[in-house]
Amino acid sequence: MKNILFIASEGVPFIKTGGLADVVGSLPKCVDKRYFDVRVIMPKYTCMKQEMKDLMKYKTHFYMDFHWNNEYVGILEAEYDGVKYYFIDNEMMFGGFKPYSGNVYDDIVKFSFFSKAALSAIPLLDFEPDLIHCHDWQTGLVPVYLKERFSDNPMFSRMKSVMTIHNLKFQGKWDVKDVRDITGIPASFFTPDKLEAYKDANLLKGGLVYADAITTVSDTYAEEIKTPFYGEGLDGLLRARSGSLRGIVNGIDYEDYDPSRDKYIEYKYDAKNFRKEKIKNKRALQKQLGLDQDDKVMMIGIVSRLTDQKGFDLIAYIMDELCQDAVQIVVLGTGEERYENMFRHFDWKYGNKVSANIYYSEELSHRIYAACDAFLMPSLFEPCGLSQLMALRYGTVPIVRETGGLKDTVQPYNEFDSTGTGFSFMNYNAHEMLASIRYAERIYYDKRREWNKMIDRAMAADFSWHVSAEKYQEMYDWLIGDKA
Ligand code: ADP
Ligand code: GLC
């Protein structure tokens, strides 16, 4: 049995701000339990739902030197869906209304503490990992600490580490002196070949330098981040480490996202009966959101963080024009104020065609995936993207920009040989996107049989974890080698 410990800042069902939580919550379940014992450690945030906290049991605690203080580190544990979870407890560190405060300094303190505490907790877990799997900048210090602070202990010195990049945009960058102070890592580590980048300390970079292997969440993104445009300043390092870098595309949880059993949707359907049943969800959503009751109109959905990454400036640019077409647009998301207000404005201006829902709701997200005809995701960059996979699963045709995981998971429609699962465009250009949406409208309105065949293909595409979990297993095997 090989033991793997995920160290991550979020995971479904305990806490979620984005796709990282979906991955951390679903991949461990899908790894072959005959050969691997995968467990997860994450912070216990005070903002977690009470019902989730109620699942956790106190295991033990200790005190740890950190940032000139001696800090309390509680360890709690829980089992969920066959996976064992550990939680690091310290209410001062993990208080607040959200997991990430948005204040870079505070977040760096919080996750440096978490990274060190998670490693320090291991000897108390009755679980000795062969490999530590780290996710994003929040855990970038883990491979560094493993090589520095913990390397004298044979239990740690043989542990392998993997760093998975879910989003290269966020790196945890701050002044070197402060980060040395916070982490206690010696000055010799803060050089441009290690933790320093462009004069600042960079936590993700530390992880990328010291991890035994690096992965990211699609093949295309693995290539893109070796170029200056997508590399966020680390493309040189990623080119240098390209022998240890690979893309493994994400899957989604096929039990949580299943239109034939989804507890959030009123009318269940599957690949056989969607022609009759899916539309009932559209009617229900039109009613719920106060849109025109119209079976025929093409309904386009958006469920997303409202940030630049997701291409909202393209949408803002053509929104008025698009609203002249026979379409309905349903948005669910939170994020940058200018995009929240942009959608509120269009909801006010075209109330019977546009519905802006500026909040977070698991339930409404499922209803949108089920009800809409098409799903729009014109990202500027997209490491993988899970929303388009959810849309495919619900027979909702994605319209995407050809970047990162969107390119790898949505096959563009080809009307000549009747293939493809969605629509896509290449350049980051608002009118190119609009042309793609209008092409989709034409097929939807004029060639309904073709449209439905596209739904057949979309629903037949397999983005469960099945294939990708095997790729992670191969990588774990390769890194750990044979165990005595
Ligand atoms: P990212 O991680 O970059 O935000 P992904 O497509 O990988 O993008 O994952 C986004 C996840 O968050 C999906 O599960 C999506 O349904 C969900 N999501 C985003 N915004 C909301 C919201 N306002 N309400 C509910 N779910 C949301
Ligand atoms: C990040 C990326 C998204 C990816 C998710 C899970 O949030 O923005 O593309 O799907 O991580 O890997």
Confidence of residue 405 (pLDDT cuts 50, 70, 90): very high
Does residue 312 share a domain with residue 164? no
Q: What residue's CA is closest to ligand 2, atom 12? A: 166
CA of 344 to the centre of ligand 2 (A): 26
- How far apart, in Å, do the first and last CA atoms of the chain sit? 10
CA of 346 to the centre of ligand 1 (A): 22
- Evaluate: CB of 380 within 6 angstroms of ligand 2: no
Does residue 286 share a domain with residue 223? no
Under DSSP, the state recorded for 187 is G
The count of structural domains within the chain is: 2
Does residue 196 share a domain with residue 234? yes
d(CA 83, CA 11) in angstroms, rounded, equals 12
Confidence of residue 148 (pLDDT cuts 50, 70, 90): confident
Does residue 453 share a domain with residue 325? yes
Confidence of residue 477 (pLDDT cuts 50, 70, 90): very high
Q: Tell me what pLDDT residue 151 has.
A: 83
Does residue 296 share a domain with residue 219? no
**Residue 268: inside a domain, yes or no?**
no
CA of 126 to the centre of ligand 2 (A): 32
399 pLDDT more than 90: yes
For the range 338-344, what are the long-range contacts, defined as Cβ-Cβ under 8 Å and sequence gap of 24 or more?
339/306, 339/307, 339/312, 340/306, 342/312, 342/315, 342/316, 343/306
Which 3 state secondary structure label does DSSP give 468?
A: helix
For the segment 22-38, the average pLDDT, to the nearest whole number, is 98
- Evaluate: CB of 328 within 6 angstroms of ligand 1: no
For the segment 62-75, the average pLDDT, to the nearest whole number, is 97
Q: What is the pLDDT of residues 4-28, one digit of tens each?
A: 999 999 999 999 999 999 999 999 9
Q: Tell me what pLDDT residue 195 has.
A: 97
Residue from 266, 32, 247, 7 nearest 111 by CA = 7
**Residue 263: inside a domain, yes or no?**
no
Does residue 401 share a domain with residue 283? yes
For the segment 45-67, the average pLDDT, to the nearest whole number, is 98
Which 3 state secondary structure label does DSSP give 93?
A: coil
Does residue 411 share a domain with residue 351? yes
Does residue 285 share a domain with residue 242? no
- Evaluate: CB of 400 within 6 angstroms of ligand 2: no
Does residue 474 share a domain with residue 449? no
For the segment 369-384, the average pLDDT, to the nearest whole number, is 98
Give the lowest-confidence range in 144-153, 188-197, 265-274, 381-390: 144-153
CA of 384 to the centre of ligand 2 (A): 5
**Residue 256: inside a domain, yes or no?**
no
Q: What are phi and psi of 163, to 5 degrees?
A: -115, 120
Confidence of residue 484 (pLDDT cuts 50, 70, 90): low
- Evaluate: CB of 382 within 6 angstroms of ligand 2: yes
CA of 168 to the centre of ligand 2 (A): 10
178 pLDDT more than 70: yes
Does residue 430 share a domain with residue 470? no
Q: Are 350 and 290 in contact (CB under 8 A)?
A: no
Q: Are 40 and 6 in contact (CB under 8 A)?
A: yes
Q: Tell me what pLDDT residue 228 has.
A: 98
Global pTM? Answer: 0.97
**Residue 262: inside a domain, yes or no?**
no
Does residue 474 share a domain with residue 351? no
Q: What residue's CA is closest to ligand 2, atom 10? A: 385
**Residue 269: inside a domain, yes or no?**
no
Q: Tell me what pLDDT residue 164 has.
A: 98
- Evaluate: CB of 377 within 6 angstroms of ligand 2: no
**Residue 216: inside a domain, yes or no?**
yes
Q: What residue's CA is closest to ligand 1, atom 16? A: 387
DSSP-assigned states of every residue in 410-423: -PBPBTTTTB-SBE
Supply the range of the domain harboring residue 145.
2-251+466-480
CA of 4 to the centre of ligand 2 (A): 21
- Evaluate: CB of 167 within 6 angstroms of ligand 2: yes
Which 3 state secondary structure label does DSSP give 110?
A: helix
- Evaluate: CB of 378 within 6 angstroms of ligand 1: no
Confidence of residue 483 (pLDDT cuts 50, 70, 90): confident
State both tokens at 20.
């990282």
- Evaluate: CB of 333 within 6 angstroms of ligand 1: yes
Q: Tell me what pLDDT residue 130 has.
A: 98
- Judged by its nearest atom, the ligand closest to the C-alpha of residue 216 is 2
Q: Tell me what pLDDT residue 150 has.
A: 82
- In the sheet that holds 200-202, the strands lie side by side as 173-175, 200-202, 196-197
**Residue 264: inside a domain, yes or no?**
no
- Evaluate: CB of 311 within 6 angstroms of ligand 1: no
Q: What residue's CA is closest to ligand 1, atom 24? A: 360
For the range 437-446, what are the long-range contacts, defined as Cβ-Cβ under 8 Å and sequence gap of 24 or more?
437/300, 437/322, 437/325, 437/327, 437/374, 437/376, 437/399, 438/325, 440/298, 440/374, 440/397, 440/399, 441/298, 441/325, 441/326, 441/327, 443/413, 443/415, 444/298, 444/373, 444/374, 445/298, 445/326
d(CA 116, CA 136) in angstroms, rounded, equals 15
Give residue for tokens 């507890």: 263
**Which CATH number is 364's domain given?**
3.40.50.2000
Does residue 472 share a domain with residue 433? no
- Evaluate: CB of 172 within 6 angstroms of ligand 2: no
For the segment 37-62, the average pLDDT, to the nearest whole number, is 98
* Cis preceding linkage at 154, omega within 30: no
CA of 152 to the centre of ligand 2 (A): 35
Percent of the chain with pLDDT over 90: 98
- Best residue among 250, 387, 388, 408 to mutate for probing ligand 2, ranked by most atoms within 8 Å of CB: 250
Q: Please identify, by atom number, the ligand 1 atom nearest to the C-alpha of residue 23.
A: 7
Q: Are 480 and 162 in contact (CB under 8 A)?
A: no
**Residue 41: inside a domain, yes or no?**
yes
206 pLDDT more than 70: yes
- Judged by its nearest atom, the ligand closest to the C-alpha of residue 304 is 1
CA of 385 to the centre of ligand 2 (A): 5
Q: What is the pLDDT of residues 298-311, one digit of tens each?
A: 999 999 999 999 99
Give residue for tokens 């979870």: 85
For the segment 384-404, the average pLDDT, to the nearest whole number, is 98
